[in-house]
Structures are given as structure tokens and as C-alpha cells.
Amino acid sequence: MTLPPKPEPRADRVSLWGYLRLFRRDILSAQPQRLYRAWMAEFRTPFFRSYLCNDPALVRRVLDERPADFPKSGRITEGLVPLLGRSVFVTNGEEWLHQRRIIDPAFEGGRLKDSFPAIWAAAEAAVARMQPGEVEAELAASHAAADVIFRTLFSIPIEDQVAQAVFHEFRAYQRSAPILNLAAFLPLPRWVPRLHRRATKASARVIRGLITDLTAARSRAIAAGEAPADLATKIMTMPDPVTGAPFGTGEMVDQVAIFFLAGHETSASALGWALYLLATHAEVQEKVAAEAAGLRPEFGVLGSLRFTRDVFREALRLYPPVPMMVRQNRVEEEFRGRTLRAGAQVVISPWHLHRHERLWDRPDAFDPDRWAGEGREAARDGYLPFSRGARVCPGAGFAMLEGTLLLAHLVRAFRFEPVPGRVPVPVAHLTVRAKDGIWLRVLHR
């Protein structure tokens, strides 16, 4: 059976500047093949040391046992600051704790049921928009995921004028933003300009301006007692249980920006790849279609979509939307006999962990059935599409509900087939996307 596409790894040895050029263009193909088997690897530059850790014990230490000693590295978020400001994605310490205390309750398990009608409506709208013929599946997935975000966050569909403007501007931002800013490599003081691309800064300003207008309008609606009971209202009216302070308008703009980035971009990436995997595995697709025949607009329906959920979970394994997470150790550490000075870059790579040859059976194969067997055991050590520990994505359950429901709706209505000669090549931009899109042939069932 043909394996799903995977980037060609680089040669084992390249020059520093050659590596930096590869890295800036695409993280995935910039890495050597040996990382799919190594427990740890060291990368040296004149400015910092970087250590990629696939050893499950090290992953647990960094993410589960001592997260406060391994805060998120500011180097990697430099390129996102124009859009995300001081959102929960980039902060650490007390500022991050304050933000999570307000955000987490909105995404608790019981609250997912409140968002179900909006996600169902977005799924129905995605089916209505889909047309037979050759379709760029990533664009369709992006449209659907953006619709989910706007319906659940602000109770407006993607067809709303402001929602459309944010969606199109975000696509421009995605195309213009490099995966890493110069400051990711050089230890620049705060006063040195970050040299963000003009187009990137312009798109970020437009997006934040539109989000500011939405947030200000919601504040007025809350004050007048006319706000819908959606995620935006829940978050904006939730005081920090420790300090009693809610988010101000500026803070809420930062958080909405990361909700859109994390909730739209990552879901769109996973859904696009899931559709491609089903298109290339007809027997799996038919099993999903049979399961989806029983769809009904009730929250409990997710319990009858176990195989569809496993397909989405397997798509997240093969193509984790966020391929690498970078932390920075606060104190000197010893990892597998090596001394890490304080301030080193500690890289946890879902991309490599999810395909690690020592953790998974047939790691590069698409096999949703693995989740009924060995996949669950391997997942304890090598599966973290939403991170893990204290910094686990608060919307992980939301994303699984959304992805499973969208996939079931689309496959119930349509059959997806690969387009001959158009095999997508995974690259890492803001998330793991296809270099030239994911083109599929769509037919009515």
C-alpha cells in the first residue's frame, strides 16, 4: 500500500547557513531522517543550543512534571507578535495563569454541549457550499473551520461581512508570514526592530482592527443585557477567580486572535489532511460514510462516530498541525548525560514523535484501526497534537468534536477521490499544510 506523503529529509550534514535557509523555508524538510529514530539530538549555532527531545521521559519532564521550569521560548513567537500581541499562546508565568483561569472554564467538557448547535450549523453550511468537481480541499476546510469559530465565538456565520473580511485577511497573513522571524535565531535586545514583513504587519493590523470592532460591539451588548450566550460572552464576563479581574478589551482582542489562529488554522489543517487520507483509502472512506449515515443533531451523536473520530485522530498523528513546540530551560539541566545550560532551546516535536520508529508500529502508514489497539499505548508516550500537561490546548475537546462532525457531514454527502498527478507535499508554515494545496475530486453520493 502506498504511504501518505512525507517531506524528503535533508542530508545529515549541511552548513549552518544552509540549515537556516532550509529551516526558514520549511521546518519539516530541514530535518535529517535520523530524528525519526533518535531519542535526542543537539543543534549548535553561535548564538544558542537547541535540543530536540523524543525520549518520553524527557517529554514528561518538560511538559508534565516541571512546566514552570521550561517556559515557552520567546524566540519562536517573535514572528506572531504583530497578530497575537500578549495572547495566552505567547505568555508565561503569572500573566499566562491569569489568562488560563479565565479561558479554561469556557472550554470545559460540559460547555461543549452549548457549542454543538453552532458546530452542526457550520457543518451543514460546509456541505451546502461544497460543489462536485476538482476542489482545493484545504480552502474548503479553512472556510468550514472559520465558520465554526465565528458561529461559536460571536454567533455570526462566515457570510457575515466582518467574518468574511477577517477570513480573507487571515489567508493573506498566512501567505506572507514566515515560519520564523530573524529574532528566532539571533539574541536581539527588545529595542531592536524585528523586521516583520510589511504585508504581514499590514494584515495583522487589519485583522486586529476588525476583531477590536467585534469585541467592542460585544461589550456594549453585554452592558445592555443583549449579548448571546456564546464563547465570547462567556469569556468576557468571566472574572479571574483569583484577582476578580476580567479581560479588558485589549486583552480580549489578543485572545480572540489566538482563538482564530489556533481554532481555525489547526482545525483546517487537520480536516484537509483527513479528507486527503480518506480519498486515498476508499475502504476507510466507505466505513466513515456508513457510520455517518446515522448522523442526527444531538450532542450524544459523537458516541456513535467512534471510527470517524479515530480517522480524525490518525490524521492528527500523521499531520500534527503544530509540528514543533519550543521551550527554554530556566536552570541548568542534564538530559541523557548532556548538560543543558540555562536558556537552551528545548524542542518537543509532535511531527517526529508521531512517526517515531521506536514508538509506533508502521509509523508512516494511515491506519485508523490502530486506535482500537496498540495506538492507545503508543499515544501515552508519542502523541500530543494539542500539547500536554499544564499548557495543553484548552480547546482540544472542542477541536475533536468539530473535526469529527465536519468530517462525518462531508463524507455522508460526498465521495472524495485523489486527483491523478497531484500528490500534496507537507510543509510547515503557521501549521502543517500542503505546498500547493490538497486537490481532490468530489462527487455526490
Quote the CA–CA distance of 332 and 328 in Å, as a whole number. 11
Q: CB–CB of 309/31 below 8 Å?
A: no
The answer for residues whose C-beta is within 8 angstroms of residue 425's C-beta and 6 or more apart is 5, 7, 434, 435, 436
With a cut of 70, say whether residue 120 has pLDDT above it: yes
Residue 352 forms part of a structural domain: no
DSSP helix/strand/coil, 428: strand
Collect all residues with Cβ–Cβ distance below 8 Å to 196 and sequence separation of at least 6.
79, 81, 82, 181
Distance separating alpha carbons of residues 83 and 208, to the nearest angstrom: 7
Neighbours of 98 (CB within 10 A): 18
Instruction: Look at residue 60 and tell me if it is in a domain.
Output: no
Tell me if 56 is assigned to some domain.
no
Q: What is the mean pLDDT of the chain?
A: 88
C-alpha cell at 219: 461589550
Assigned domain for 198 exists: yes
- Residue 159 domain flag: yes
Give the domain extent around 187.
Answer: 71-342+392-444
The reply to whether 273 falls in a domain is yes
Helix pair 266-279, 282-292: axis angle to 10 deg: 110
Residue 68, exposed/middle/buried by CB under 10 A (0-12, 13-18, 19+)?
Answer: exposed
Q: Look up the CATH number of the domain holding residue 327.
A: 1.10.630.10
Q: Is the pLDDT of residue 188 over 80?
A: no
Q: What is the mean pLDDT of residues 313-341?
A: 94
Domain count, the chain: 1
Confidence check: pLDDT of 9 > 80: no
Q: Are 130 and 410 in contact (CB under 8 A)?
A: yes
Q: What global pTM score does this model have?
A: 0.92
Whole-number Å distance between alpha carbons of 347 and 170: 27
Q: In the predicted model, is pLDDT for residue 306 greater than 90? A: yes
pLDDT of residue 402 exceeding 90? yes
Cα–Cα dist 364/359, whole Å: 12
Asked whether residue 25 is domain-assigned, the answer is: no
Question: Confidence class of residue 185 from pLDDT cuts 50, 70 and 90?
Answer: very low
3's CB contacts (< 8 A; 6+ apart) are 364, 365, 366
For residue 67, how far is the Cα from the chain centroid? 20
pLDDT digits (tens, 9 = 90+) for 221-277: 999 999 999 999 999 999 999 999 999 888 999 998 888 877 787 889 999 999 999
The verdict on residue 32 lying in a domain is: no
Instruction: Give the Cα separation of 260 and 85 in Å (integer).
Output: 13
Distance of CA 270 to the CA centre of its chain: 8
